[in-house]
Amino acid sequence: MRRLFIAGNWKMNLNRGQSLSLVQSLAESLRGVSEVDIAVCPPAVYLGELGKALHATNIGLGAQNVNSKAEGAYTGEISCSMLKDVGCRYVILGHSERRAIYGETDSMVNEKLHAVLAAGLTPIVCVGETLEQREAGQTQQVVRSQCLGSLAGLTEDQMLKTVLAYEPVWAIGTGKTASPAQAEEVHKDIRSLLEAQFSVGTAQKVIVLYGGSVKADNALELLSEPNIDGALVGGASLKQDSFEGIIKAATSVRK
Ligand code: PGA
């Protein structure tokens, strides 16, 4: 049985006051939710303060990126131990914006993944095809190759501690959501890849999120698909009502 997980990726949005007031209202309104795991991933500069605000709540704190090195002369970078220090539990890795804008490759994501797992943090590894790749019929091949490259060298135990997120690039921030059937098809294929690489048992236990224009009004149908275990939410995680609506939808899903 996989627990549903809803994570908000704030990207480079909200100021300090807005961030604090959003997590305070979410902590209040989501206090009673125990059947769904919840996290927010704010900009790094606010993690320390928000970590304190979220302490002893049911909302986990996540970062949007990390450096794979432990410490040293890496100007502008942040290590896993620094993230742990300020109360982070999760780290998003290989988001398509990092891949496309900052040139992150599968092997860079893989290096970060090993560092994150070694630090005892939970990685959320993102994969997904572009519109061009989908239209060329390459979705399965692209997603499989990103999974294999990003997850290289993981033990079965490490795989179980890793969350995956299928985020079709064409659905991110565009208002275009993959249909539940389109998303389910890819999620199912990711699970069969995990089955081949690890085992049936592991494939059945790994949490695979969907991301790409998830909103309060489309969450229920996506989350009702058998292989979709939650959502990585961008735009709709920036407002209390919409993020809460997605979590409410998740609590009503029975699998
Ligand atoms: P979106 O972003 O919900 O705004 O499409 C999702 C993501 O990039 O994780």
pLDDT tens for 148-202 read 999 999 999 999 999 999 999 999 989 888 999 999 999 999 999 999 999 999 9
Helices marked H in the chain: 16-29, 47-54, 80-85, 96-102, 106-118, 131-135, 139-150, 156-160, 180-197, 200-205, 219-223, 240-252
- Contact call for residues 11 and 64 (beta carbons, < 8 A): yes
Ligand 1 atom at shortest distance from the alpha carbon of 214: 3
Active site residues: 95, 167
Bridge partner list, 126: 165
Average pLDDT over every residue of 44-71:
98
How many Cβ atoms sit within 10 Å of the Cβ of residue 136? Answer: 12
182: which residues sit within 8 A by CB, 6+ positions away? Answer: 168
Q: Which amino acid is at 94?
A: G
Q: Which residues line ligand 1 (CB under 6 A)?
A: 9, 167, 172-173, 211-214, 232-236
For ligand 1, the distance from its centroid to the CA atom of residue 128, given in whole angstroms, is 12
Residue length, the chain? Answer: 255
Q: How do the domains of the chain map onto residue ranges? A: 4-254
The Cα–Cα gap between 101 and 170 comes to 15
How many Cβ atoms sit within 10 Å of the Cβ of residue 119? Answer: 18
Average pLDDT, the chain: 97
List, for residues 5-45, the tens digit of each pLDDT value: 999 999 999 999 999 999 999 999 999 999 999 999 999 99
Backbone angles phi, psi at 144, to 5 degrees: -65, -40
3: which residues sit within 8 A by CB, 6+ positions away? Answer: 35, 36, 37, 207, 229
**Beta pairing class for 230-233 and 122-127:** unpaired
For ligand 1, the distance from its centroid to the CA atom of residue 239, given in whole angstroms, is 13
Whether the per-residue pLDDT at 111 is higher than 90: the answer is yes
Ligand 1 atom at shortest distance from the alpha carbon of 96: 8
Average pLDDT over every residue of 65-90:
98
Q: Which amino acid is at 57?
A: T
37: which residues sit within 8 A by CB, 6+ positions away? Answer: 3, 4, 5, 6, 60, 230
List, for residues 117-148, the tens digit of each pLDDT value: 999 999 999 999 999 999 999 999 999 999 99
The Cα–Cα gap between 22 and 44 comes to 16
Which residue, by CA, sits nearest to atom 1 of ligand 1? 234
* Positive or negative torsion for Cα 211, 84, 104, 145: negative
Domain 4-254 = CATH 3.40.50.720: no
* Global confidence as pTM: 0.98
HEC profile of 180-201: HHHHHHHHHHHHHHHHHHCCHH
State the number of CA atoms in the 13 A half-sphere of 95 facing the CB: 22
pLDDT of amino acid 177: 87
C-alpha radius of gyration, the chain, whole number: 17
pLDDT of amino acid 251: 97
